[in-house]
Amino acid sequence: MQIPQTNKVFNFDKYPTLEKDIDPKQRAWIEVRGKELETNVRHLKSKLSKNCQFMAVVKADGYGHDAKVVSEYAIKGGASQLGVATLKEGIKLRSSGVKKPILILGNLYTRRDLIISFKNDLMPTISSIRECLICNNIGKHFGLKFSLHLKVDTGMSRLGFECNKFLHQFEKIKSFENISIEGIYSHLASADEFNSLDPKSTTQLQRQKFQELLEQIKVNRNQNIKIHLANSAGMLLNQNFHFHMVRVGLSMYGYSPLAKIDKNLSLKPALFLKAKVAFIRIIDQGVSVSYGGKFLSSRKTKLAVLSIGYADGVPRNLSGKINVIHNNKFYPQVGSITMDQMMVDITDSNEIQIGSTMILLGSDGDKTISPLDWARESNTIPWEILCSFKNRLPRVQVD
């Protein structure tokens, strides 16, 4: 760091005052790697049969990556549909210029929301006759067909028609003239469990239940209805789960949801989390660090203060359990993670300075830290880690 010379002439006017003009890498940020997303989609698609479609699931702002960027690169990689959770997410994607079909995976239950969904060319997920009727009315009003997907519950007990009653209800739904059934789907509850290939596993039983239902309603007679069941884990199990489309989130972002990692699965993380060193201090042996004094230095210690904390989405319960990477070396995080900052022991480094960039998630050289590591340490799942990142972290797109 250069100390400014007093005799240097500054042009004070050129410095920005607006929030939007602040360097996104001034403090801490998420780097989103579009090319990796595209490659992951292409790679995953190569495991599908030729006619099977790939729905890129971009809910929760693209698992924290930025839904717009993810959609753009997923489409480049071959995704032909997009999945979001909410009406707002769908509208945002449409207004960013995405033209592909968008399915809302959550439940819209008011006429108002369904009308807005229709007007934005978003397909709702329908789980009851009541909502089918509303959609049919909306379609009738506009003199058009309302495109939607029907969902059946095969074991989640979340959304979806009750499986036993669906046969009867489907006959009725087919008679509605102003809706267009674009898809019928269900959702797997435990596909990421180690026993999912065991014929008696809940995953296989769910598949069987779904398959039987499809045969009962003779869905084959209607070639235009897309059948889909698999999330990332289901997709990676085998082609029996693929049907006409797969709905892929986690693995598209570069992580395998399966405990047994397929050797041929070459997925690349699309997210790097980085933060700058904002301050450096040296403390003596036996000095406590951060709230609660949970860490006591065992030697004279050089500390880097990173400008990132739990208000950015780094789980506080990872305090003292993670490393950060700089120049192909790990450095341990020490003391409690605070709202906006955390300390790292950099005693062994001569090169880290104020302003140096540290990698919290991602890789450098042969060192890697993955959301899977964080999830294990904080007793959660990688999905939760990814969608915990707050808007305070700028998303910076790199190719």
Q: Smallest distance from the beta carbon of 339 to ligand PLP, in angstroms?
A: 29
Q: Smallest distance from the beta carbon of 181 to ligand PLP, in angstroms?
A: 17
Residues in CB range of 141: below 8 A, 6 or more apart: none
Number of residue whose CB is nearest ligand PLP: 249
- Residue 287: how many CA atoms within 13 Å on its side-chain side? 13
Query: 172, 260, 291, 390: which is the annotated catalytic residue?
Result: 291
User: Of all helices (H) and strands (E), which one includes residue 326?
Assistant: strand 323-326
The annotation status of 252 as a binding-site residue, yes or no, is no
The annotation status of 158 as a binding-site residue, yes or no, is yes
Going by C-alpha positions, the residue among 197, 185, 121, 194 that lies closest to residue 158 is: 185
Q: Smallest distance from the beta carbon of 30 to ligand PLP, in angstroms?
A: 18
DSSP string over 44-93: HHTTS-TT-EEEEE-HHHHHTT-HHHHHHHHHHHT--EEEESSHHHHHHH
Give bridge partners of residue 112 from the DSSP assignment. none
Distance CA(162)–CA(170), nearest Å, equals 11
Q: Closer CB to ligand PLP, residue 71 or residue 231?
A: 231
Dihedral over Cα of 152, 157, 158, 162: its sign? positive
Q: Tokens 């990698």 appear where?
A: 359
Q: Smallest distance from the beta carbon of 106 to ligand PLP, in angstroms?
A: 8
Is 59 noted as a catalytic residue in this protein?
A: yes
The residues that touch ligand PLP, with contacts defined as CB under 6 A, are 57, 59, 105, 187, 231-233, 247-250, 257
Q: Closer CB to ligand PLP, residue 160 or residue 309?
A: 160
Distance CA(365)–CA(359), nearest Å, equals 12
Q: Closer CB to ligand PLP, residue 247 or residue 302?
A: 247
Residues annotated in the binding site for substrate, as ranges?
158, 339
Residues that are catalytic: 59, 291
